[in-house]
Amino acid sequence: MHNPWEDISLSDYENHMSLDSVKQLQAMNSIMKEQFGAYPVDTAMVLGIAGGNGLEHVSKDKYKTVYGVDINADYLKTVETRYGALKGVLKCVKADIINEWDKLPEAQLVIANLLIEYVGYEAFMKAMMRVRPQYISCVIQINIDEHQWVSDSPYLHAFDRLDEVHCQMEDEALTKAMEETGYRKILSESYPLPNGKALLRLDYSKEN
């Protein structure tokens, strides 16, 4: 099946996410600054990198390599253009995480924000077993109305097909899947959004 994320234009996605009624792009940028700085690592992987929001917080003094992974080749071209200053550190990887998890390299930190909703727990954990990170920092969206999980906006119809791949996330179910793969939760932090939604950041560390 052709993944609907391959057909959503980056401008529609970013314009929707940055609206005052949504404000997810801004919230995510702030969260990613914290994610990149949180742990003693020098390699990281951002799954579902889209247009690279948050990459300006990557310190070349800290990071040797940051992998940007996405299913959409056009998104990755934009990332490489926007973040030319990270040349030598930033490496873009086109991959469908569900079917091409074996394309993923290893990294000490995985950042997966608003991604697990579109691949499911099983595929995500299979990818993590391949990447073998010490730390996983992810953000899931908490919705009051499970039937209206995309906020209303002029760009709403750009996301019509996402129902085909979207799964509602649950904190406890994600943590259970993580524990079964050898990760324990070390952080839980909520960020309120307009429209009664919230972003929930959950961080996990590999058990020794």
Q: Which CATH number fits domain 4-206: 3.30.2000.10, 3.30.420.40, 3.40.50.300, 3.40.50.150?
A: 3.40.50.150
- Where do the structural domains in the chain lie, given as residue ranges? 4-206
Question: pLDDT digits over 183-199, tens only?
Answer: 999 999 999 887 778 89
Question: pLDDT digits over 142-186, tens only?
Answer: 875 554 445 544 445 555 556 666 667 789 999 999 999 999 999
pLDDT given for residue 106 in this prediction? 98
Beta carbons of 28 and 139 less than 8 angstroms apart: yes
Provide CB contacts within 8 A for 90, sequence distance 6+: 55, 58, 66, 68, 79, 80, 83
Question: pLDDT digits over 69-110, tens only?
Answer: 999 999 999 999 999 999 999 999 999 999 999 999 999 999
Provide CB contacts within 8 A for 148, sequence distance 6+: none
C-alpha 98, offset from chain centre: 14
Beta carbons of 55 and 77 less than 8 angstroms apart: no
Number of H helices, E strands in the chain: 5, 7
Q: State how far the Cα of 201 lies from the Cα of 180, in Å rounded to an integer.
A: 19
Host H or E run for residue 173: helix 171-180
